[in-house]
């Protein structure tokens, strides 16, 4: 089993990097979704009191 340490290191690095990247994506996605829901709620609360034409076009756009 000569050079097994190199083989082990190569496969370990591949899986550690992939798992770290997936964890990074999941964490960021969870944070973004929380922020998105909060923003949608804020927008819903603002809509009924939008009286000016400028406000109307912003919502429509």
Partner 1 sequence: MKNKIGTALGLMTLGLMLVSLFMVFEWVPTEADQGIVQRIFYFHVPCAWVAFAAFGIVAIAGVFYLWLKDQIWDDLGYAAAEIGMVFCTLVLVTGSLWAKPIWGTWWTWDSRLTTTFILWLLYGGYLMLRAMADDTEEVARFGAVIGIAAALDVPVVILSVRLWRTIHPAVLITRSGEHGLEDPRMVITLLVALAAFTALFGWLLRLRFQQLRTRTRLTILRREVALIEAAVGDY
**What is the smallest separation between the CB atom of 36 and partner 1, expressed in angstroms?**
5
Binding footprint of partner 1 on the chain (CB under 8 A): 1-4, 6-7, 9-11, 13-14, 17-18, 21-22, 25-26, 28-29, 32-33, 35-36, 39-40, 42-43, 46-47, 49-52, 54-55, 58-59, 61
Cα→Cα distances 36→3, 45, 47, Å: 50, 14, 16
H-helix segments, the chain: 4-46, 53-60
* Residue 59: CB minimum distance to partner 1, A: 6
Location of structure tokens 């190199």: 6
Q: How far is the CB of 58 from partner 1 (least distance, A)?
A: 4
Is the separation of the CB atoms in 11 and 17 below 8 Å? Answer: no
């Amino acid at each position: 089993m000569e050079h097994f340490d190199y083989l082990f290191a190569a496969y370990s690095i591949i899986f550690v990097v992939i798992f770290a990247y997936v964890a990074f994506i999941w964490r960021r996605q969870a944070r973004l979704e929380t922020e998105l829901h909060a923003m949608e709620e804020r927008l819903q609360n603002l809509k009924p009191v939008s009286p000016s034409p400028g406000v109307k076009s912003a919502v429509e756009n």
